[in-house]
Structure 1
């Protein structure tokens, strides 16, 4: 992916140098970090990227780094490497959301393919977060009554039914519905439902 950065996180300078050469030869920008804390201090979550992380590191190991990123609500695709063939740790990393778990010495072509997958996943996640934030911003504009109307409209209720549910006149519901549609920037019911589906599915 053009402009993306691959972060290499390993306490072994020999590994960092070798992986750095691999990505430089492939025309991929990479940043080298001597450990988990060094990575956290330099990482910019706004930039498209992924990270290749050694599982066994002093100070802050790979799984601890993954947990810390999750606690900070930072979403970056992680690829784990280990020289010890620690399958249990690899399984734990995958369950916690890692893209893949590879053992050293890693095959260059395999690693490049996994990085491509990780960057694609990262871009997809970024678009989903952006779309969800846009829908949430529109939802925040609604009054409590407009939000009630929205929920009932999405459930498939007609204006007359909504009026009966909320104990008000149908013409009042029409006014609330019109304002709600305007604030949600939805031209029709199909667009409104699409927005809410996007907000709910990307939030899971």
Structure 2
């Protein structure tokens, strides 16, 4: 999976290593940016807008790699590289979500394999997030009453029951329901339920009593 739209950030305070890793990863068809410190990387990463991963050295002049991993809070897949790792460090990194932990000097094939796997995870996460963003955007088109109707409809309640819950008539609920379906861009109740499940939307418990 090589795609020039996929971003790889390399963070290593050894300038020669940084350059070499950058050239290698770029030769595989990825977009690469290199950084000599955690702080320089953090200043840049706030603005990235595409699937990305980080190739990260453990030993850095400001934050170390594990500290930087905590700062990122699992927002990006990380491939750790280090000449000073131990089993405990490896376990901590992997538990916190790192995709790989490679000793220096890193073999080209091992690094490119690890980067590819990290980017596959990044693409999956990015795709899911884009879908959720689109759902929330459509949800934002609903009026407060339409959101109430949607929350009840997706629990399987009939129009007549929803009308009773909301103190109105069935005809009004049918109209609200039609607008909900149109704004949420679905054509069936099953689709609407799946969309609601994706964002954890449900009716308040006291509405079913």
TM bucket (normalised to shorter chain) is 0.7 to 0.9
Partner of 1:60: 63
Secondary structure of 1:42's partner? helix
Secondary structure of 1:168's partner? coil
Q: CA RMSD in A?
A: 2.2
- 1:45/1:75 contact within 8 Å kept: no
Partner of 1:30: 32
- With the length of structure 2 as denominator, give the TM-score of the two structures: 0.84
Give the C-alpha shift of residue 42 in structure 1: 3.4
Partner of 1:18: 20
Structure 2: where are the runs of 5+ without partners? Answer: 202-209
Partner of 2:49: 46
Task: Between 146-155 and 14-23, report the one with greater CA deviation.
Answer: 14-23
Give the C-alpha shift of residue 29 in structure 1: 3.7
Task: Between 118-127 and 138-147, report the one with greater CA deviation.
Answer: 138-147
- 2:53/2:118 contact within 8 Å kept: yes
Q: Does 1:189 align with 2:189?
A: yes
**Could you tell me how far apart the structure 1 residues matched to 2:78 and 2:129 are?**
18
Q: Could you give the per-residue CA deviations for residues 98-145 of structure 1, whole angstroms, max 9, x where no partner exists?
A: 222222222321211111111111111111111101111111222222
**Could you tell me how far apart the structure 2 residues matched to 1:183 and 1:24 are?**
43
**Could you tell me how far apart the structure 2 residues matched to 1:30 and 1:69 are?**
18
- 1:7/1:32 contact within 8 Å kept: yes
Give the C-alpha shift of residue 59 in structure 1: 0.7
- 1:9/1:54 contact within 8 Å kept: yes
Partner of 2:131: 131
**Could you tell me how far apart the structure 2 residues matched to 1:115 and 1:161 are?**
53
- With the length of structure 1 as denominator, give the TM-score of the two structures: 0.86
Task: Between 115-124 and 31-40, report the one with greater CA deviation.
Answer: 31-40
**Could you tell me how far apart the structure 1 residues matched to 2:163 and 2:197 are?**
24
